[in-house]
Structure 1
Amino acid sequence: MSEVQIRTQGELIRSREPGHGMPGELFGRQDVFEKDVEIFFQKHWILVGVTADVPEPGDVSTVDIGRASIIMVRDDDENIRTYRNVCRHRGARLKEPGKSTVGMLVCPYHQWTYDLDGSLRHAAHMGRDFDPTCRSLIPVHTRIVGTHVFVCLADEPPADISKLEATMAPRFAPYDLRNTKIAFESEIIENGNWKLVIENNRECYHCAATHPELTASFLPEDFGFCPENLTDEALREIAAYKERNAACQASWESDGFTSATVEWLGEDAVTQFRTQQLVIAGHGESQTISTKAASQKLLGNLQRRDLGDTHLWTHNSWTHVMSDHAVVSYIIPLAPDKTLVRSKWLVHADAVEGVDYQIQDLTEVWVATNAQDKHLVEITHEGTQDPAYRPGVFSPFTESYVEQFSRWYAARLDAYGV
C-alpha cells in the first residue's frame, strides 16, 4: 500500500486554480494554522485595539496573539505604549488577558515592578551590582492611526504601514476618533478558520439574502454586481445608484472630505488595506435600521450627518466610521477552526447613554450582522472539511476581493519561503 503524500502549505496554495477557492487543508490543518499565526499575525502589522481601550493613565489592555501576548497601557503623559507581556526576570505573564487599571506593572511571581514607561523600578534581593536599566519591558512596534492601535511583533516591521497611515490619518481627522469612548463591545468566537472570516467580510454576494439589518443602510452594489441579463427596471436602479454615488462624493469633496477609493491589496502589498467613503441608503446618515444617526452628539466637531461610511479593511480588521459613531472589528485566530472577533462601538467621549444615544439603536445592525456572519463562516468551514469539498469558482463580479485576498495570501507565504 502506497503512503499518502501530505502536501506542504506552499504546495497547497500553489495548487489553487485562479478564480477558485483555497484547498480545504489550508483551513483545517494545525501546521498551516501555526504558520499563519507566525506570518500573518506576528510578522505583519495587525490591529489589536483602539485608544479608548485605555482611556486614562494607568489603564491596561492585554491581548494574546498565539503564544505571544502584549500589554497596551496609557502612561502618565497620556501616551499609549505597548510591551511584550513577559517579565524580564523569569518570564512570568504580568497581566491576564483583558482590561485593568494599575499604578505600576507588578509581576505576580516575584513582584518585579515596572513603571508605565516600561522601566524596571523595583527588584528585591538582586544585589548592588544588578543593573535595572538593562531589564526594561520589551517594547512592541506601534502605530496609532485615528483611534486604531496597530502593532507588529517582528524585529523589522513592514515599512508600508506608512501608506496606510498617510491615507487614513487625514480621512479620520475630521471625526477626532481619539476623543471617543466605547459605548458597547462584543466578543464572538466563530467556529471557522480566520481566512474564511476575512473572505466572508470581503464580499457582499451573500448580503441581500442574509443581512436584512445591514442592507437597510448598506448598498451591496458597492462591492460588485453582474451587469448581464438585467431587466430594464434593474438597469434604471443601477443608473440611479451610480448617480447618487457621484452626487454624494462630489458633495463630500466640496466640504473637504476625501472619498475616493484607495486600494493597497495586490501581491506587492505587505500591509494590505482598502478604504472608501461609502454612500448610506435612506437618510444617508448612519448604519442603523432607520438610516438616521443613532447618536445626537456627532463625532468631532462635525455639522453634517450625511457623511456616509468611511470604510477601512486590513487583513485582520474592518472599520466603519460615520458622522455619529464608529464600529471597529478585528480578529485573532485561536485554532484552525476558531477565530475571535472583537467589535467596539465608539461614540463621542461626551455623549451620554440614554440622552444622546440608545444602545439598541446604536448596535442592532452590527450585532445582528456579526451573528449572521458567524453562522455563514461556520457552515462554510464545516463544508471545506468535508471529503466531498472541491474549491468552487468565484463570481468575477461579486467575489473579486476574495480572489485578491487569495493571491495576496499566496504572495506573502512565498515571500517567507513557504
Structure 2
Amino acid sequence: MNNKAAVADLIQQRKPRHALPTALYSDAEVYRQDLEQLWHKEWIFAGHTFELEKPGQYLTLQIGDYPVVVVRGADGQVRALHNACRHRGSKVCSEHSGKVAKLVCPYHKWTFELDGQLIYAGNMGEDFDKSAHGLKPAHCQVVNSYIYVCVAEQAPDFEKFRAALSPFITPHNLDDCKVAFESNLVEKGNWKLVFENNRECYHCDGTHPELLNSFVENLSVAGVGGDDDPELVAHWDRCEAAGLPSRLVMDEAGQFRMTRIPLAAGAVSYTMNGRPAVARRLDNSGEENIGALLYFNYPSTWNHFLGDHALSFRVLPQGPNETLVTTKWLVPKDAQEGIDYDLETLTRVWLATNDQDRRLVEGTQAGVNSPAYEPGPYSAIAENGVCQFDDWYCATMARKLAE
C-alpha cells in the first residue's frame, strides 16, 4: 500500500472535534510522514541570536533526520548549516553549543570557515576542488532574536509570519536579553500529545498549583476569540494604549497565533506570589501589569512574555513516542543573578509545570497505545485550543500528502 495514502486514510478517519486515532500518535509510518511533510518542510524554531553573540558561537539541533548547526559568522551573520561533513558525513559540531574559530570535523580534521566554506582537507591531492565540498546551507531567518531554520530545498514564505509577530515582540527588547537558565526535558510521548497538552488548561486545576498562582485560562489563549470578554478587552485597550499590540492575530490556516492576556488578580509574573522575578523590565511601556503575551507557531514552539522576563519553548520530535522540550528563561542582558533575580524564584513555576506536563503526556501516550483506546470528544468549553491544533495538523497533513 502507498504509505502516504495509508496515512491520509488514517487522518480521514478522525471524527470532527475528537482526539486522534491511536496510529496518529504511535505508528512509525505516521511519524515518518510527520517528519517528511511537516518537520522537514516547515520553519522550525532553533534558538535566539543573543545565544550567538560573538563570531564562532554556535548551537546545534536535530530536526527529524537532519542535524543542523546554527553559527554566527566572522561577518556577523547568523547562518544554518547541515551538520554533516562533506567527506564521510561525521557531525562537525557534536556539542549542544560552543564557540570555535573554525568548524573542524573531529573525524579527519576537514576544516570549514564559519560560513561553511571548506578551507582544509588533508590527503585529498592537488586536483581536489575544495570549493565544491563546503557544508551545505539550510534556510535561516531571524525575527526579533528568534532564529528559524528550514531544511527543505525550497522554504515556505516567512514574511507573513514575520509581519504578524514582530509588532508584538519588538516592545520587549529581546535583542538585549540573555538566557538565564535552560531546561531540556525528554518526554516519552508523541510530539502531538505534547502540543495538545499545551493548548488547554482543562487539566490545570488538578495538576498545576504553582502555575495557577498567576496564570488564568482565557478564550483568546485557545485562539477562538475573546472579543466578548469585557475584562480581556479592557486589558487589550490598556496595553495597546501603552504601545503593546495585544489583540488576537492568527493566520488563516491556524499555524501561528499571538495575543496578550491578563494574569490572575494581583499577579504580574509567573512566580509563586505573582510578584516580579526580575528587578528589570523587558519593555519600556511604563505599564506595570501587561499580563502575558503568548504566541505559538506550529509545529515547534510556544512562548510567554511577561513584564520582567520571557520564556521560549521548543519542541523537537525524537521518535514516534519521544519528544525533546527545551525551555529558556530570558532576562535583560544586564540583569545579574543574585542581585536582580534569584534563579529558584525565576524558574520554580515552569520547572514544576513542565515536569507535571511530562507526566501527563507520558500517561496519555500509554493510554492511547492501548487496544481499548477510542478517541473521545473535545469539550466545547475547555478544549477548543486542542481541537484547533488537531484541525490544523489534519488539514495540513491531508493537503501535503495529496501533493
User: Deviation per CA, 1:218-237, whole angstroms, max 9, x where unpaired?
Assistant: 11134589xxxxxxxxxxxx
Residue 330 (structure 1) aligned with residue 314 (structure 2) = yes
User: Deviation per CA, 1:282-325, whole angstroms, max 9, x where unpaired?
Assistant: 33421222222111121254544322211111122110011211
Q: 1:280 to 1:224 in 2, by over 3 A?
A: closer
Match in the other structure for 2:200? 203
Match in the other structure for 2:72? 74
Q: TM-score, normalised by structure 1?
A: 0.89
Q: Is the 8 A contact 2:202 2:382 kept in 1?
A: yes
Match in the other structure for 1:104? 102
User: Deviation per CA, 1:260-289, whole angstroms, max 9, x where unpaired?
Assistant: 1011263xx6xx111101112233421222
Aligned match for 1:279, one of 246, 262, 268: 262
Match in the other structure for 2:234? 247
- 1:4-153 matched pairs, under 5 angstroms: 8-153=6-151
Taking the aligned partners of 2:287 and 2:15, their CA distance within structure 1 comes to 47
User: Deviation per CA, 1:305-351, whole angstroms, max 9, x where unpaired?
Assistant: 32221111112211001121111011111111111111000101110
Residue 306 (structure 1) aligned with residue 304 (structure 2) = no
Taking the aligned partners of 1:36 and 1:244, their CA distance within structure 2 comes to 39
| Secondary structure at 2:38 match in 1 | helix
- 1:216-227 matched pairs, under 5 angstroms: 216-222=213-219
Q: Is the 8 A contact 1:265 1:408 kept in 2?
A: no
Taking the aligned partners of 2:373 and 2:134, their CA distance within structure 1 comes to 51
Q: Is the 8 A contact 2:220 2:261 kept in 1?
A: no
Taking the aligned partners of 1:265 and 1:191, their CA distance within structure 2 comes to 32
Letter in 1 for 2:154: E
| Secondary structure at 1:140 match in 2 | strand
C-alpha displacement at 1:201, in angstroms? Answer: 0.7
User: Deviation per CA, 1:107-143, whole angstroms, max 9, x where unpaired?
Assistant: 1122111111221122223333333222222111111
After superposing the two structures, state which structure 1 stretch, 387-396 or 398-407, moved more.
398-407
Q: Is the 8 A contact 2:242 2:287 kept in 1?
A: no
Q: Is the 8 A contact 2:168 2:258 kept in 1?
A: no
Match in the other structure for 1:228? none
C-alpha displacement at 1:144, in angstroms? Answer: 1.3
Residue 368 (structure 1) aligned with residue 352 (structure 2) = yes
Across the aligned residues of Structure 1 and Structure 2, the Cα RMSD in angstroms comes to: 2.1
After superposing the two structures, state which structure 1 stretch, 340-349 or 139-148, moved more.
139-148
Q: Is the 8 A contact 1:177 1:300 kept in 2?
A: no
Letter in 2 for 1:344: K
Could you tell me which runs of 5 or more consecutive residues in structure 2 were left unpaired when the two chains were aligned: none
C-alpha displacement at 1:165, in angstroms? Answer: 0.6
Q: Is the 8 A contact 2:221 2:385 kept in 1?
A: no
Letter in 1 for 2:282: L
Taking the aligned partners of 2:354 and 2:384, their CA distance within structure 1 comes to 22
Q: Is the 8 A contact 1:222 1:278 kept in 2?
A: no
Match in the other structure for 1:234? none
Aligned match for 2:341, one of 335, 348, 357: 357
Taking the aligned partners of 2:193 and 2:7, their CA distance within structure 1 comes to 16
Q: 1:167 to 1:277 in 2, by over 3 A?
A: same
Structure 1 segments of 4+ aligned residues over 6 angstroms from their partners: none
Taking the aligned partners of 1:184 and 1:265, their CA distance within structure 2 comes to 35
Letter in 2 for 1:253: E
Could you tell me which runs of 5 or more consecutive residues in structure 1 were left unpaired when the two chains were aligned: 1-6, 226-237
Q: TM-score, normalised by structure 2?
A: 0.92
After superposing the two structures, state which structure 1 stretch, 348-357 or 54-63, moved more.
54-63
After superposing the two structures, state which structure 1 stretch, 194-203 or 82-91, moved more.
82-91
Match in the other structure for 1:170? 167
Q: Is the 8 A contact 1:284 1:307 kept in 2?
A: no
Aligned match for 1:291, one of 274, 282, 285: 274
After superposing the two structures, state which structure 1 stretch, 326-335 or 398-407, moved more.
398-407
User: Deviation per CA, 1:41-93, whole angstroms, max 9, x where unpaired?
Assistant: 11111112222332322111111122210001112233211100011222221
Match in the other structure for 2:248? 261
After superposing the two structures, state which structure 1 stretch, 382-391 or 134-143, moved more.
134-143
